[in-house]
Structure 1
Amino acid sequence: MADRRLRSLASVAGIIALVYLTGRLVTTGFFALAAHLSGPTSRFGADATIGSLAMGWDGQWYWYIAAAGYPAELPVSESGQVAENAWAFMPVYPFLAQSFGTVLGGYPAGAIIVSLAAGYAASVLLFVLLRPRIGAGAALWAVVFFSNGPLAALFQMGYAEPLFLALLLAALVLLTRRSFGWLYLLIPIMGFTRPGVLAFALLLGLYGIMRWLRRRQDPLPTRQIVHIIALGVLTTVVGFSWQVIAGIATGDPASYLETELAWRRAWVGAETGFVPFSGFIEASGMWFELWGMPRALGPVVLGLLVAAVAGALVWAPSVRGLGPEIRLWSASYLVYLLAVFFPQSSLFRLLLPLTPVVGAVAAPPSRSWRIGVLAVCLLGQWWWIHEMLALGDTYFRIP
């Protein structure tokens, strides 16, 4: 029985590999076209190449960290405020990419290999996560959408998102199977790969409440209670530890928050401090004003959008079919984004951890529906690559 299961998993992994590699060929073609279209107004310039597109923007920060580490003294702008610096980025991805780069001939090769491998691992884990909920056929279609989706370019860029997503999907698989032991290892790695692990802490809290409320229908042994609480504490500590590390290394306890706020100042000017949820509220008004609409309308539309997403997570049948863990994760991550992020064009990239919800789109069995969704995914991918890389200015189009 075990041998048959292993052979079945190997066969599926092979099929997913073909799907994933096909997607990477499509993305490479989009990259080549974007490099050709890149002009003097793009950050990449008229002489852009596939390689320069792959290692641009945040990829340069990770490369810098691999080469020089983190500054012991925070840089300051002409106004005397903390400037953008490497402390905004976590260390696991650049140091892992550097390790591979020493073998492959340089950091860029190591970074792309890590992203490619993590993207494939995420594809397999997505299938494993979704198969018990929507069936093998629909789960494979979810992988097709994922491999060719609007954010698929990240699998070929020097960004930490694919690695974080692979770790996240592994953690969700373990949580749904109630195999808590490996989470003690995964959570710290995930927490030092990129920001977002505090959303997993919220997930564990909500998951624990759900299990407690359902304990008569779904028994909750004491051992599992201990694991859920201990993992929640661990995840919270990991989520705040980078701020402590940055503060000790630089001698400024507020160094991490000040570094993150430095990225907002290009839009809002002076920043008085971090206030949870203020970023989205302020930005919604700002963007509506820039688009020629009343500023006061922005927060109203934001509120309606939040209500619509919440309603879909609670009542939409296709989403409910994904199971409580995926729905609770989606809610937790969206709350996290609303609390800490200032929305601009990089918001699209930050939606990648919501990947498990793609199962709701893949579940309908209609072939015409699925082909239509795939077409939308490919169009979305080209739009993202064209806007963020081919056009790639430093204000409206930041990947």
Structure 2
Amino acid sequence: MTETLVVQKERLWDRAGAARGVGTAIGILALTRLGQLLMIWWLGSATAEPRSVWDRLLVWDAGWFLRVAVDGYPHGYTYDANGVLQGNELAFFPVYPILIRFGAAIGLPASTAAVLIAWAASIGAAVALHLLGTSLYDKRAGWALVAICCSAPASVVLSMAYSESIFLALVAGMFVAAHRRVWWAAGLLGLLTALSRPTGAAAALGLAVAALIAVWSLWRSERRIAWPPIAAAAVALAGVPLFIGWVAWRVGDLDAWFKIQTAGWGTTFDYGTSTWDFLNTTLRTGDGWVSISIAIILLAALAAAGVALAQKPWLPLAVYGVVAMILVYGQAGFYHSKPRLLLPVLLTLLPAVVAASKARPRVAILSIAAWAAFGLWYGAYLVTVWPYTL
């Protein structure tokens, strides 16, 4: 069994182009990040409130993560002067703040550690995405997946002190391990994924599907149970309930995490009612080009997911994508955060990835470059000119 896994890993490494292929993926990421940072500098220098590029990478949710890293989690609910429940740091999952704290422990300022960890995780995400695309399709698909994902309209968060880069690296790595049936790595990465963001629950379900496929395959061929995939799935599935349960224990209220989310960010699952109302109102009234563009992005993502499902992708990735999209579209909350929440879904990117991998290289490069020019500018605009949180 061990020899088989070694052969699988070597074969994937070779298929991905070995060090040169992985280096190309990292180079693609570097181009997107450098290009977007330049756009942030350019757009930011023309605003009424000039701020450094560095400061713009540390806005909004970054402050919450930094407070958790520096001060720890609060011991209960937070109320305003009128006794109204407010959101607090207990809403934020622990992997990213723990890493920031480690960075601060070795002497880095917490803010510096937060950004550097996000950048390092982005490199990990690029490598994992390339390996995933290669494992599912081929080397060109791996590069296309990196380029398309890392230049998407909300990909600016990959440079910011946000948890998306860590989540993306972990979820892509988890699916690579599951696809190659390296179950110990899949389980560990699945647990860390689930402790990074709430949508880690969707990733864990995807891993559970991969485990069921492996168990059924071994049972059909050898009439015995494969325990490693079962253990991997169980470990990953425990992640989100563990953190939510810990918050409940810390506060002394069973649904404390959900109450904090609702109080702070209006995040409740309303079966898509608020998303439908946003789309209906925005597309009828045309209330600002950003809101219209977000509505178009949400509809385009749905259409892309439909095309992807019609192409019959790897089932675990499809299950993860569908469940994650249900969570994003089905909940109330800030509409302008939804493109960011869709960034790590991956299912919506598969039609473009497959098309790019089959197209002539020049056509693929020009098409992705056009996508990147818009996506990188769009993200830079949102953190410089657009006044609301992502």
Q: Specify if TM > 0.5.
A: yes
Q: Partner residue of 1:25?
A: 34
String of CA shifts for 1:89-138, please: whole Å, max 9, x gaps.
Answer: 11221221232244463112111111111111111111111113332133
Of residues 310, 322, 345, the one that matches 1:331 is 322
Confirm whether residue 371 of structure 1 aligns to residue 390 of structure 2.
Answer: no
1:147 and 1:108 map into 2 onto residues whose CA distance is 23
1:48 and 1:157 map into 2 onto residues whose CA distance is 15
Q: Secondary structure at the match of 1:194?
A: coil
The answer to whether the 8 A contact 1:127-1:142 is kept is yes
Structure 2 residue ranges without an equivalent (≥5): 1-5, 287-295
Structure 1 residue ranges without an equivalent (≥5): 40-45, 266-270, 295-300
1:118-157 alignment runs, 5 A limit? 118-157=121-160
The answer to whether the 8 A contact 2:275-2:330 is kept is no
Q: Which amino acid aligns with 1:48?
A: R
Q: Which amino acid aligns with 1:258?
A: K
Stretch moving more, 136-145 or 23-32 = 136-145
Q: Which amino acid aligns with 2:38?
A: G
Q: Partner residue of 1:288?
A: 280
2:191 and 2:158 map into 1 onto residues whose CA distance is 22
String of CA shifts for 1:59-78, please: whole Å, max 9, x gaps.
Answer: 11111111111111311245
1:78 and 1:302 map into 2 onto residues whose CA distance is 39
Question: Aligned pair in 2 of structure 1 residues 81, 284: CA closer, same or farther (>3 Å)?
Answer: farther
1:163 and 1:280 map into 2 onto residues whose CA distance is 27
Question: Aligned pair in 2 of structure 1 residues 222, 330: CA closer, same or farther (>3 Å)?
Answer: farther
Q: Which amino acid aligns with 2:275?
A: A
Q: Which amino acid aligns with 2:239?
A: V
Confirm whether residue 222 of structure 1 aligns to residue 217 of structure 2.
Answer: no
Q: Partner residue of 2:385?
A: 391
Q: Which amino acid aligns with 2:40?
A: F
RMSD: 3.3
1:308 and 1:19 map into 2 onto residues whose CA distance is 26
1:185 and 1:214 map into 2 onto residues whose CA distance is 22
TM-score by length of structure 1 reads 0.80
Confirm whether residue 240 of structure 1 aligns to residue 231 of structure 2.
Answer: no
Identity of aligned residues (%): 19
Q: Partner residue of 1:297?
A: none
1:4 and 1:210 map into 2 onto residues whose CA distance is 23
* Pairwise CA distance, 1:371: 1.0
Confirm whether residue 72 of structure 1 aligns to residue 75 of structure 2.
Answer: yes
Stretch moving more, 207-216 or 152-161 = 207-216
1:64-213 alignment runs, 5 A limit? 64-77=67-80, 80-103=83-106, 105-207=108-210
2:316 and 2:374 map into 1 onto residues whose CA distance is 30
The answer to whether the 8 A contact 1:148-1:374 is kept is no
Question: Aligned pair in 2 of structure 1 residues 31, 239: CA closer, same or farther (>3 Å)?
Answer: same
String of CA shifts for 1:188-235, please: whole Å, max 9, x gaps.
Answer: 22222222121023224444565677779x8486343x3444444333
Q: Partner residue of 1:35?
A: 44
Question: Aligned pair in 2 of structure 1 residues 390, 220: CA closer, same or farther (>3 Å)?
Answer: farther
1:33 and 1:219 map into 2 onto residues whose CA distance is 60
Aligned residues: 368
Question: Aligned pair in 2 of structure 1 residues 24, 289: CA closer, same or farther (>3 Å)?
Answer: closer
Q: Secondary structure at the match of 2:78?
A: coil
Q: Secondary structure at the match of 2:340?
A: helix
2:168 and 2:304 map into 1 onto residues whose CA distance is 21
Q: Which amino acid aligns with 1:280?
A: G
* Pairwise CA distance, 1:33: 1.6
Q: Partner residue of 2:53?
A: 50
Q: Partner residue of 2:250?
A: 249
Q: Partner residue of 1:344?
A: 335
The answer to whether the 8 A contact 2:209-2:316 is kept is no
Question: Aligned pair in 2 of structure 1 residues 81, 209: CA closer, same or farther (>3 Å)?
Answer: farther
1:77 and 1:220 map into 2 onto residues whose CA distance is 62
* Pairwise CA distance, 1:37: 3.1
Q: Which amino acid aligns with 2:248?
A: G
Q: Secondary structure at the match of 2:335?
A: coil
Of residues 338, 348, 356, the one that matches 1:362 is 356
